[in-house]
Structure 1
Amino acid sequence: MRYRLVVFDLDGTLADTVEVHAEGWAYAFAKLGLGSVSPREIARLVGLPGDSIVREVLGEQALRYYGRIRWLKDRHFMRKVAEGSVRLYWDVPEALVYLRSRGYLVGLATSTPNYILIPLLERLGILEAFDVTVGGDEVLRGKPNPEIFLRAAAKASVEPRETVVVGDTEYDSAAARSAGMLPVLVDREGRRSPSRSSADIAIRSLTDLSLLL
């Protein structure tokens, strides 16, 4: 199979944002008096849509406060971005340059909404690296539903079977597989077992993409 499009997840795949997102959710919950939750407990859920995170941590009843929770969380996150607390992983620039040199289209699909995504990509200096981007506010159903990756492929005018998805969670792998795409799991710390994942392939860094594509 000749693949044409490589779609990346953002959080935990390209940018080291998982802890900052988790801290933001915990901050918002505490600020509104909804409970004291450890960011570590929330970190495992980053990658899911925001309402799913709130539902999982606080229960269905907390969704009535979702608008205020989201506003506080996003304000906290963007403050951290402005402070320089969010950085690209070391292997990202080389991987993006390699894929472009090989003629692949490059996409990004993330649960992060566009009003956060676009300023973040500009801040990180990689907005122009992508042929297509899909923010979480462009789809009705977030990961592990395949809609977000299917939308990325449609934007690029590429068939799902011609698409590779690179992510760091089971949510990414499951969504990619459901979309009929090739899931690749990046596991920089070697903590995940490929046999327990929906991913076909596990890599230790994005530079390993040169061995696959």
Structure 2
Amino acid sequence: MTGAAVFDLDGTLADTPCVIKRLLVRVCAEHGRRVPPERAALTIGIPLETAFGHLLGLPPQDPEVCRAVRRYRVLFEEDVLGAGAWLVHAGVPEGLERLRAAGVPLAVATSKVSRSAHALLEVTGLAHHFPVVVGHDMVTRGKPDPESGLLAARLLGVPAHTCAYVGDTATDLRMARAAGMRPVAVTYGVGSRADLAALADGAVYDDFADVVDTLLSPYGPYRPPARVRVPERAGEQALA
């Protein structure tokens, strides 16, 4: 059984990517940039500053990018948080209950800032499962850097190599591997099955119940079998 389970939030626990994509396109349009939805979708799962920097063609620290990020967060609270528990992926509440009943410590490590992450967990009814929530504002380097995963493990009080990290993008899985965590992928989010399979060492699942079964199965400390590369997408870095 895993020593702890750390989860991505958007696309993995909550079905937010479609709304996020729409908001990215809307905010870019307000800043005079016409961005195709499929291009916006490629930036989901990375920090907003990086995403808008890419979409607007500006450095992440540019004042216009900062204004876009602030506008996005206002719209997110209006459009997403009002949806509440309807955002939760099928099987997630029951699966998290199983993990807690088995004594598996749980955490979230997300590219959202912690305020937004806590707000989303509250409205979806999932907050009580997660004593540890690591947001992008709590680290100096976002995914796929391992810092957020390592911080989550440290706050849970467990070694990183005994943890699994569950996510829906190649960025999530690169972070997991870099942190020495077992990468576990779900296919119902943003990432393509091919990209996820290249990084998840066979742990790719269509259903959250299967994820939970895997997390509760016996296995030793995670040891990546080999370094791999998959085609990079906007804002993602290749695995070192």
Normalised to the residue count of structure 1, the TM-score between the two structures is 0.92
Number of aligned residues:
211
Question: Which whole-Å CA distance do the structure 1 matches of 2:116 and 2:196 have between them?
Answer: 34
CA shift, 1:188, in A, is 3.0
Gaps of 5+ in 1: none
Q: Does 1:46 align with 2:44?
A: yes
CA shift, 1:161, in A, is 0.7
Question: Which whole-Å CA distance do the structure 2 matches of 1:195 and 1:22 have between them?
Answer: 20
Q: Which deviates further from its counterpart, 72-81 or 5-14?
A: 72-81
Q: Is the 8 A contact 1:173 1:197 kept in 2?
A: no
Aligned residue in 2 for 1:192? 193
Q: Is the 8 A contact 1:134 1:151 kept in 2?
A: yes
The correspondence of residues 1-16 of structure 1 with structure 2, limited to 5 A, is 2-16=1-15
Q: Which deviates further from its counterpart, 12-21 or 203-212?
A: 203-212
Q: Does 1:124 align with 2:130?
A: no
Q: Is the 8 A contact 2:49 2:66 kept in 1?
A: no
Q: Which deviates further from its counterpart, 149-158 or 189-198?
A: 189-198
CA shift, 1:196, in A, is 4.9
Summarize deviations over 1:67-91 as a string: whole Å, max 9, x none.
Answer: 2101111111111124427600012
Aligned residue in 1 for 2:232? none
Aligned residue in 1 for 2:141? 141
Q: Is the 8 A contact 2:81 2:120 kept in 1?
A: no
The alignment-based identity, stated in percent, is: 35
Q: Which deviates further from its counterpart, 159-168 or 52-61?
A: 52-61
Aligned residue in 1 for 2:206? 204
Summarize deviations over 1:152-185 as a string: whole Å, max 9, x none.
Answer: 0011111011100000000010110010010001
Q: Is the 8 A contact 2:118 2:133 kept in 1?
A: no
CA shift, 1:96, in A, is 0.2
CA shift, 1:122, in A, is 0.9
CA shift, 1:4, in A, is 1.3
Question: Which whole-Å CA distance do the structure 2 matches of 1:115 and 1:124 have between them?
Answer: 14
Q: Is the 8 A contact 1:187 1:202 kept in 2?
A: yes
Gaps of 5+ in 2: 217-240
Aligned residue in 2 for 1:161? 161
Q: Which deviates further from its counterpart, 177-186 or 51-60?
A: 51-60
Q: Is the 8 A contact 1:24 1:74 kept in 2?
A: no
Aligned residue in 1 for 2:234? none
Summarize deviations over 1:24-83 as a string: whole Å, max 9, x none.
Answer: 2222111122x1112331112110111211222222357331221011111111111244
Summarize deviations over 1:81-106 as a string: whole Å, max 9, x none.
Answer: 24427600012111101111111001
Look up the SS of the partner of 1:174 in the other structure. helix
Q: Is the 8 A contact 2:17 2:44 kept in 1?
A: yes
CA shift, 1:117, in A, is 1.4
